[in-house]
Amino acid sequence: MQSFNGQTVVVAGATGNVGPFVVRALLERGASVAAPSRSEEKIRGLREHLSQHLDETGSGRLHTLVGDLSDEREAAVVRQRISEEAGTPAAVRSPEQLWDVALRDAVAREGHMPSG
């Protein structure tokens, strides 16, 4: 299993359909995850989802930030906050780029491909 111990990964799209599963897989593998979103409500949903699946240690490495990454000024503020709160990112990825990590973890946990 690939380890992300000590790495900070920014997941753009962490609050989307696939994002929460990718964030969970990264946290379970030791990463600190920065999850920016334009929506405070979606961040609450992400935190709720993860609280059902992770212990406090994993949840403690999740850094959520509200900001619009498509706006140059807001993106600069978000980048600064990520560096201050989570450390210098080792990678910035979309959920689709990391889906294989989440899928392998789900198969390992469930013993088969997840349905639904």
Amino acid, res. 54: L
Domains and CATH numbers, the chain: 8-110 (3.40.50.720)
What is the model's pLDDT at position 114?
A: 54
Per-10-residue mean pLDDT of the chain, 116 residues long, equals 83 90 91 94 95 84 92 92 91 72 67 56
pLDDT the model gives residue 1? 54
What sign does the dihedral 4-23-70-87 (CA atoms) show? Answer: negative
Give me the DSSP letters along 33-57: EEEEES-HHHHHHHHHHHHTT--HH
Q: Measured between alpha carbons, how far is residue 12 from residues 52, 88, 100, 108, 111 in Å? A: 22, 15, 16, 25, 29
Q: What confidence score (pLDDT) does residue 111 get?
A: 66
For the whole model, what pTM was predicted?
Answer: 0.79
Query: How far is Cα 99 from Cα 116, in angstroms, rounded to an integer?
Result: 16
Q: Look at residue 103 in the predicted model and tell me its pLDDT.
A: 67
